[in-house]
A and B are shown apart, each in its own frame.
Chain A
């Protein structure tokens, strides 16, 4: 028992006085360790990077190679920025699933018991997971977004239909690709904490982001025009579109609404995490 240094029941108080104790900053570090120590997380992040970069370049190449056959309307509404960022749509799957897993993975394996025993106030865990995963997503996806943009424009330049960061709205859109995925990440984290199950969280997240727009599409067009712009997906995706149709929201207005949805879900997750038995 030589490795155990403590003697007596008051030992805990002594160590607490020695400076040990839960702080938000320490929980952040802990969540960072958790994130980087799972191989599945690293693979998913790698997949998201590949999706954004490779798909953006591939679709830009396809557009350039078929430009000569493109219709007049297609040419007029062509958005070179958004085209090079099309991989974001696929990457949101990897990011969203990872976001859900931040909590559902802990509930599924029982890790949540260890986590909550260490941080009985619970909310620091929600904030730490949100911040760590949002920052990691933003950094990786914004960089990927820029790489996809430059790669895509290089493909499009063969037909001289490329754009540059200097054009109005383009820089916003490229950063917007990273921002959109960051908020998708937060939606995933909040849903994972709310429903606790991986399957349930993923179903709700992509039901709302991918399926809901399809269903709204079947509504009468006057309804559609009034509903579609306010859907989370449409509002969020406004931030990385440069060429917009008349009904969609302005980039930052749409993005603000998208953030609002995430904020509401995170608040609900906070209430539930605090109240429910773990």
Chain B
């Protein structure tokens, strides 16, 4: 369990992290999301005591990181960039870390095996590919068999096989009852790995909710409708909480109505439909919409999700749309 309370980090005038509070629970993978420069790494550095918070505190299982007698056995951390001396072999790097805690050599060999580094353990870490470097960082994080794991962008530089390995590993670690916090700027990756999300933008908390709620709340379903009598159908569908974009002569993008209802309206009016496709906004789009707002409103208390569908997301994706909002008179 990681409890972040009122965490603030100031670099001179600039606020990197601002009054951030959230809790990371054991047993699930928690995704820590935000655009680049949003304060994810700074927050993680403060969790393991590399940086001193300007205000606020972080407790891991009720204790400050610095107060642990065996920190590597409590928290395993993979931090941004490499944290390895380029001239030292992977084995000696891990051995030197293990020795600070009296962790036996056997465990060093175990984590090398686990991280798939057996073939290169005696080679200089400076010659490692980005992916190998990440694996070494993960081996180091697992060295003390810790109950809490903090990984900053662990899939960076990994090949597809490596990414799948990380995903499975993290889920297994969480399933064993460990606390797992993983940062990423890739929503799609989090959708596959994480169960819970903490989203920050400009150092402030934007969302703290389950992945399922995040997708459901952040994106209203859009229905793609194709009909030769599209303008007619649009007039029939318009109402206060329905948004319709006309895309081309015969295509409508309808949000705010389920596809069944659209089909029924069309059938009742005798309008033929050539296509009726419900489309759920992706996690990526939801994320874009959310962080876009955070930037737009300068991170003001945006802890609730935007209710205007497709505000940022669809437009970011789309080309030239003609947007029509319902007048509210018709129903």
Q: How far is the CB of B300 from chain A (nearest CB, A)?
A: 28
Interchain residue pairs with CB less than 8 A apart (9)? A3-B110, A5-B145, A9-B148, A15-B73, A37-B89, A38-B87, A105-B85, A111-B85, A117-B83
When C-beta atoms are compared, the residue in chain A nearest to B89 turns out to be: A37
Q: How far is the CB of A117 from chain B (nearest CB, A)?
A: 5
Q: Which residues of A contact B (CB under 8 A)?
A: 1, 3-13, 15-16, 19-23, 26-27, 29-31, 33-34, 37-40, 105-106, 109-121, 275, 277-278
A11, A37, A121: the one within 8 Å of B146 (CB): A11
Q: How far is the CB of B171 from chain A (nearest CB, A)?
A: 10
- Asked whether B145 lies within 8 Å of A113 as measured between CB atoms, the reply is no
Q: How far is the CB of A192 from chain B (nearest CB, A)?
A: 14
B84, B86, B89, B99: the one within 8 Å of A30 (CB): B99
- Asked whether B114 lies within 8 Å of A4 as measured between CB atoms, the reply is yes
Q: How far is the CB of B3 from chain A (nearest CB, A)?
A: 13
- Asked whether A23 lies within 8 Å of B74 as measured between CB atoms, the reply is no
Q: How far is the CB of A186 from chain B (nearest CB, A)?
A: 21
* A26 in contact with B85 given A10-B147, A12-B74, A12-B147 (CB within 8 Å): no
B79, B97, B147: the one within 8 Å of A9 (CB): B147
- Asked whether A34 lies within 8 Å of B85 as measured between CB atoms, the reply is yes
Choose, from B173-181, B186-194, B215-223, B252-260, the stretch at the interface: B173-181
* A109 in contact with B85 given A12-B61, A12-B144 (CB within 8 Å): yes
A1, A9, A16, A31: the one within 8 Å of B70 (CB): A16
Residues of the B chain whose Cβ atoms lie less than 8 Å from the Cβ of A117: 48-50, 71-72, 77, 79, 83
**Can you list the 5 inter-chain pairs with the closest CB atoms, starting with the nearest?**
A37-B92, A12-B74, A30-B99, A113-B83, A15-B73
- Does more than half of chain A's interface fall in helix, strand or loop, or is it mixed? helix
Determine whether B200 belongs to the interface, using a CB cutoff of 8 Å to chain A.
Answer: no
When C-beta atoms are compared, the residue in chain B nearest to A33 turns out to be: B96
* A27 in contact with B100 given A117-B77, A120-B49 (CB within 8 Å): yes
Per-position 1/0 for B54-79, Cβ under 8 A of A: 00000001000110111111110101
* A33 in contact with B99 given A3-B113, A9-B178, A114-B83 (CB within 8 Å): yes
- Asked whether B176 lies within 8 Å of A119 as measured between CB atoms, the reply is no
* A118 in contact with B86 given A6-B145, A7-B177, A12-B147 (CB within 8 Å): no
- Asked whether A11 lies within 8 Å of B145 as measured between CB atoms, the reply is yes
When C-beta atoms are compared, the residue in chain B nearest to A125 turns out to be: B100
Once bound together, how far apart are the Cα atoms of A16 and B172, in whole Å?
Answer: 23
Residues of the A chain whose Cβ atoms lie less than 8 Å from the Cβ of B325: none
Determine whether B201 belongs to the interface, using a CB cutoff of 8 Å to chain A.
Answer: no
Q: How far is the CB of A191 from chain B (nearest CB, A)?
A: 19
Once bound together, how far apart are the Cα atoms of A275 and B49, in whole Å?
Answer: 11
Determine whether B103 belongs to the interface, using a CB cutoff of 8 Å to chain A.
Answer: yes
Instruction: Kindly name the residue among A21, A118, A121, A277 whose own CB sees the greatest number of chain B CB atoms within 10 A.
Output: A118
- Asked whether A15 lies within 8 Å of B87 as measured between CB atoms, the reply is no
